[in-house]
């Protein structure tokens, strides 16, 4: 059995997404990306509007970038924006990282890259998809 939101009935999933967008995310953004806080913030540009957005995410730092679980699947606006642009900026633990080359990977590829505690949590929840991004090379 999986607890991942992407497996929930569509009406429930849509209600949670709406609640997150208008209630939880604005609160989370007050702390996301700060040192000693679990959530990061991903800054991205709207693929149609060109507007700058910031979305709270859980982002695990790896050797050459980040891995971000996708509990709501791949049909979320922030992910589509990052993929369309091919780049984003992640604020995590008080640092800012420009990232490029967004790639959707499955749990089999993502889990070995994660810390033991995050790996256990994401396995238990049953998250199937992850976003991997790489650090932007210095010019």
pLDDT tens per residue across span 33-83: 999 999 999 999 999 999 999 999 999 999 999 999 999 899 999 999 999
Cβ-Cβ contacts under 8 Å for 71 (sequence gap 6 or more): 4, 5, 6, 125, 127
Structural domains of the chain, count? 1
pLDDT confidence of residue 3: 66
Using CA atoms, how far apart are residues 38 and 49, in angstroms rounded to an integer? 30
Using CA atoms, how far apart are residues 116 and 92, in angstroms rounded to an integer? 19
Q: What is the mean pLDDT of residues 109-126?
A: 95
Q: Which domain holds residue 110?
A: 5-135
Task: Check which CATH number belongs to the domain holding 9 and give it.
Answer: 2.30.110.10
Average pLDDT, the chain: 92
Q: Where are the beta strands (DSSP E) in 5-128?
A: 40-45, 52-57, 60-62, 65-69, 87-92, 95-106
Residue 116 neighbours by CB distance under 10 Å: 7
pTM: 0.87
The single residue listed with the structure tokens 């091919």 is: 86
Flag whether pLDDT at 1 surpasses 60: no
With a pLDDT cut of 70, the percent of the chain lying above it is 94
């Amino acid at each position: 059995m999986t607890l991942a939101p992407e497996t929930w009935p569509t009406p429930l999933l849509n209600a949670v997404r709406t609640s997150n967008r208008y209630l939880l995310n604005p609160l989370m953004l007050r702390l996301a990306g700060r040192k000693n806080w679990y959530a990061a913030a991903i800054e991205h540009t709207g693929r149609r509007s060109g507007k700058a957005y910031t979305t709270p995410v859980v982002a695990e730092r790896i050797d050459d970038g980040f891995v971000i679980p996708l509990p709501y699947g791949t049909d979320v606006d922030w992910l589509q924006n990052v993929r369309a642009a091919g780049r984003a900026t992640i604020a995590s633990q008080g640092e800012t990282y420009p990232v490029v080359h967004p790639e959707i990977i499955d749990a089999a590829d993502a889990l070995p890259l994660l810390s033991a505690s995050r790996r256990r949590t994401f396995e238990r929840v049953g998250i199937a998809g992850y976003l991997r991004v790489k650090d932007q090379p210095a010019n």
